[in-house]
Amino acid sequence: MGKRVLLIEDEPNIIEAIRFILSRDGWTVETHADGATAVAAVDRKCPDVIILDVMLPNKSGFEILRELRAMPDHASRPVLMLTARGQQKDRDMAEAVGVSHFMTKPFSNTEMLDVVRRLAADASGQDDGHG
């Protein structure tokens, strides 16, 4: 069974692009567009990798990540943060709340794919014993 990605993003065209790139590589891509219920969606789906946008309706990506990190189940779950806000303070903020990797939009497709693969591999290496 292929690995699963949860894409939390609200721009339809960006969702379509990422879904295309990842599914071609054998990933199962699930999406979620609303900030307020994103944490619950992660809790339900327990994806291998999360791709998280920052400017989401109702709750920001930073906030979601902060909440996730406070939950034992998701404290070390790989999160790739993708954002159109590329200023240094945004990057600092992402680091502060515990991001696994930070990328600005627009991104290179291959680079994004590499990061997702690497995050998944790191995680499975770490969690070996648990399966």
Partner 1 sequence: MLRFNILVLVCISYATLLFVVAFWAEKRAEAGRLGWLRSPLIYTLSLSIYCTAWTFYGAVGYAVRSGLEFVTIYLGPSLMMIGWWWILRKLVRIGRTHRITSVADLISSRYGKSTTLGVLVTLLAVIGTTPYIALQLQSVALSFAVFGVNDPSGAVLPDLDKTALWVAAGLALFTSLFGTRNLDANERHHGVVTAIALEAVVKFIALIAVGLFVVWGLSDGLGDLMMRIDASPVAQHPIHGTRWIALTMLSAVALITLPRMFQVLVVENSDESHLFTAGWAFPLYLFGMSLFVIPIAVVGLEVLPAGSNPDMFVLTLPLHFDQRVLATLSFLGGFSSATSMVIVASIALSTMVSNHIVMPIWLSSRSGGAMVSGDVRGVVLSARRLSIFGVLALGYLYFHFSGGSEALASIGMISFTGVAQVLPAMVGGIFWRGATRVGAIGGVITGFVVWAYTMFLPSFGPAAGYTAEFLAQGPFGLTLLRPQALFGVEGVDPVVHAISWSMALNTVVFLVGSLLSFPRPVERLQGAEFVNVFEHSGSARSWSHGFAEAEDLLVMAQRILGPVEAQNLFQSEAERQGKEGYLPDTTPAFIERLEREMAGSVGAATAHAMLGQIAGGVFVSVEDLMAVADETAQMMEHSSQLEQKSVELARTARQLREANEKLTALSIQKDAFLSQISHELRTPMTSIRAFSEILREAGQTGDMDAESLERFSSIIHDEAQRLTRLLDDLLDLSVLENGQVSLNWARANLHDVIDRALNASSEAGGGNGLVVRRNELSEHIAIETDPDRLAQVFINIIANVRKYCDAETPVLQIHVRRTPDDRIQIDFIDNGSGIAKDKQAMIFEKFSRLTDHAKAGGAGLGLAICREIMVNLGGSISYLPGQGGAAFRLDLPRVRARD
List the interface residues with partner 1, window 99-118 (CB under 8 A): 104-110
Measured from the CB of residue 118, what is the shortest distance to partner 1 in angstroms? Answer: 19
Rounded to a whole number of angstroms, the CA Rg of the chain reads 14
The upper half-sphere exposure of residue 101, i.e. CA atoms within 13 Å in the direction of its Cβ, equals: 19
For partner 1, which is the closer residue by CB, 38 or 77?
38
Which positions ≥6 away from 65 have C-beta within 8 Å? 52, 79, 81, 94, 97, 98, 99
Contacting residue, 84, 96, 114, 122, with partner 1 by CB under 8 A: 84
List the interface residues with partner 1, window 9-38 (CB under 8 A): 10-14, 16-18, 20-21, 33-34
Give the bridge partners for 38, in sequence order: none
For partner 1, which is the closer residue by CB, 49 or 112?
112
Task: Give the type of residue at 64.
Answer: I
Measured from the CB of residue 113, what is the shortest distance to partner 1 in angstroms? Answer: 11
Contacting residue, 4, 66, 69, 85, with partner 1 by CB under 8 A: 85
Degrees to nearest 5, angle at CA 49 with 74 and 25:
165
Measured from the CB of residue 21, what is the shortest distance to partner 1 in angstroms? Answer: 7
Q: How far apart are CA 110 and CA 106, in angstroms?
A: 12
Q: What residues make contact with partner 1 under the rule CB under 8 A? A: 10-14, 16-18, 20-21, 33-34, 55, 57, 84-87, 104-110
